[in-house]
A = this chain, B = another copy of it.
Amino acid sequence: MKQSIICPQFEKAISLLSQRWTALIINQILSGPHRFCTLQSSIGISGKVLSERLKDLEQKGIIKREVIPETPVIIEYSLTEKGYSLEPVLKEIENWSQSWVEIGSEET
């Protein structure tokens, strides 16, 4: 059924970025390492899905999870080289959104 006439790498990339929240999470971490709770509140995702996505992204080598044994233990998520390399993609999306997406109304 799934006959990919399309390039498999491209399809994989698309399926990664098409997962809800994934691009937003990466975009957020692009601005520096983040903790679970700050990601949660800054992008408005539920803890359940955030933890699923973080595990998935870690396993795909896009982010890394670091346990920092400070006073109360801090868990920091940051991008790997592979993760940072998605910056141009996110930037292009941002460019496009500035030129073509209307502000204000809900529908376009």
- Chain B residues whose CB sits within 8 angstroms of the CB of A94 once the complex forms: 7, 10, 13
CA distance A103 to B9 in the complex (A): 6
Chain B: minimal CB distance from A14 (Å): 5
- Chain B residues whose CB sits within 8 angstroms of the CB of A18 once the complex forms: 17-23
- Chain B residues whose CB sits within 8 angstroms of the CB of A24 once the complex forms: 6, 11, 14
Chain B: minimal CB distance from A76 (Å): 19
- Chain B residues whose CB sits within 8 angstroms of the CB of A71 once the complex forms: none
Could you say which of B22, B85, B92 contacts A100, with CB atoms under 8 Å apart? B85
Chain B: CB-nearest residue to A82: B100
CA distance A97 to B14 in the complex (A): 9
